[in-house]
Homo-oligomer: A and B are copies of this chain.
Amino acid sequence: MDLLNVCIIGSGNWATTIARNVGINVVNSQFMENKVNMYVYEEIIDGRKLTDIINTTHINVKYMPDYVLPSNVVAYDDVVTTARDADIIVFAIPPTFVSSCCKTLLGKIKPMAHAVSLIKGFERNDDGQILLISHLIMRQLKIPCSVLVGCNLAHEIAHNNFAEGTIGCRDQKYLRILSDLFKSETFRVVVTDDADCVEICATLRNIIAFGAGLADGLDFNENTKAGIIRRGFLETLQFVDVFYPGSRLATFFESCGISDLVTSCYANRNRRLAEAFVKTGRPLSELEHVLIPGHEPLGPVTSELINLMLKKKGLEEKFPLFTAIYRICTGAYPLSRLVETLRFAREDM
């Protein structure tokens, strides 16, 4: 049997974190090639190319300066070179770059390759249709795309703190392979075939975390925040039911569901952004860049895309929390509508 080759497209902190797990795991596997290519967006740092720095020092000085990569992870500045021999292509780039990256790769990768997206969010394709990132990859590259989610806090995994991830796998024969590829002693991975639900949970929680941050900014209490988490969870269930029917309720109890939602609402950058939005009164467009250099927080963007999907089906009123958060972002609603929404939301959705 031919050994499977794995590459990673991306070099942010989540890409780098997972590259270490992958680099270690392929060496310990009898089914995998040892070398792991990693596509790095080239930058010059202190007069040196970032790819050179990574390939000599094994440290991604840009995103994870305290973290040593295994030497079998090799950086490339060209995405086609990185991916052309890969059987498993792991995508970990910002959502807005996915479409152009796929266009570059189309026809230049193995036709039987399997993609894995670590990217949260929805994107519009060229027709203006709103798609989950894994669906965008599948349509553009014509290969199946699984997802790995569950890392709010890349640095926690990087520092070998306990964390859980969920893989939504789109090909039965990769169930075990993907689990073995990403896990570590401290990063517990559970695989399910309910891939859409896994990805939607990971995406919608950024809206809910933004809502939790609004509550924090308004100095609301723990019960209010819990109300937002609960309502957001219910609207996520309902959203999946409307737009991606056939998902299983059990998936919401995996780490991609309840755990990531809770973590996001207490410790994620969307939460911080929303808190700053309330406390400073400055527009989101200014704050997004102030708060998270190089990382776009996805809450407001996602809430806009979700709102387009809901509006098209005449469902805005059936998703009062998502709608209120979107309208607060645009300024159409005052902040006070957040609690009003919780008070008057109907239970029987």
A residues near B (Cβ < 8 Å) are 152-153, 156-157, 161-164, 185-186, 188, 190, 220-227, 229-230, 233-234, 237, 249, 253-255, 258-260, 262-263, 265-267, 339, 342-343, 347
Distance A161 CA – B221 CA, assembled complex (angstroms): 7
| Sample of 6 more A-B contacts, CB < 8 Å, known A188-B227, A222-B266, A230-B253 | A185-B343, A222-B263, A226-B262, A229-B258, A229-B262, A258-B258
Q: Across the interface, do A190 and B347 meet the contact criterion of CB distance under 8 Å?
A: yes
Q: Across the interface, do B233 and A255 meet the contact criterion of CB distance under 8 Å?
A: no
- Residues of B within 8 Å of A258, CB to CB, are 226, 229-230, 233, 258
Minimal beta-carbon separation of A24 from chain B (angstroms): 17
Known: A162-B339, A223-B153, A343-B188. A255 touches B230 (CB 8 A): yes
Partner of A152, one of B156, B185, B222: B222
Minimal beta-carbon separation of A165 from chain B (angstroms): 9
Can you spell out 10 A-B residue pairs with CB atoms less than 8 angstroms apart? A162-B339, A164-B226, A227-B255, A229-B262, A230-B253, A230-B258, A230-B259, A233-B253, A237-B253, A249-B249
- Residues of B within 8 Å of A223, CB to CB, are 152-153, 156-157, 161-164, 259, 263
Q: Across the interface, do A162 and B222 meet the contact criterion of CB distance under 8 Å?
A: no
- Residues of B within 8 Å of A253, CB to CB, are 230, 233-234, 237
Q: Across the interface, do B222 and A342 meet the contact criterion of CB distance under 8 Å?
A: no
Minimal beta-carbon separation of A264 from chain B (angstroms): 9
Minimal beta-carbon separation of A321 from chain B (angstroms): 13
Partner of A156, one of B161, B222, B262, B347: B222
Which label, helix, strand, loop or mixed, suits the secondary structure of the A interface?
helix
Residue of B nearest to A340 (CB): B162
Known: A221-B156, A263-B222, A266-B266. A227 touches B343 (CB 8 A): no
Q: Across the interface, do A226 and B259 meet the contact criterion of CB distance under 8 Å?
A: yes
- Residues of B within 8 Å of A186, CB to CB, are 343
Q: Across the interface, do B163 and A224 meet the contact criterion of CB distance under 8 Å?
A: yes
Q: Across the interface, do A224 and B343 meet the contact criterion of CB distance under 8 Å?
A: no
Q: Across the interface, do A162 and B343 meet the contact criterion of CB distance under 8 Å?
A: yes
Distance A226 CA – B268 CA, assembled complex (angstroms): 13
Minimal beta-carbon separation of A13 from chain B (angstroms): 15
- Residues of B within 8 Å of A267, CB to CB, are 222
Q: Across the interface, do B255 and A224 meet the contact criterion of CB distance under 8 Å?
A: no
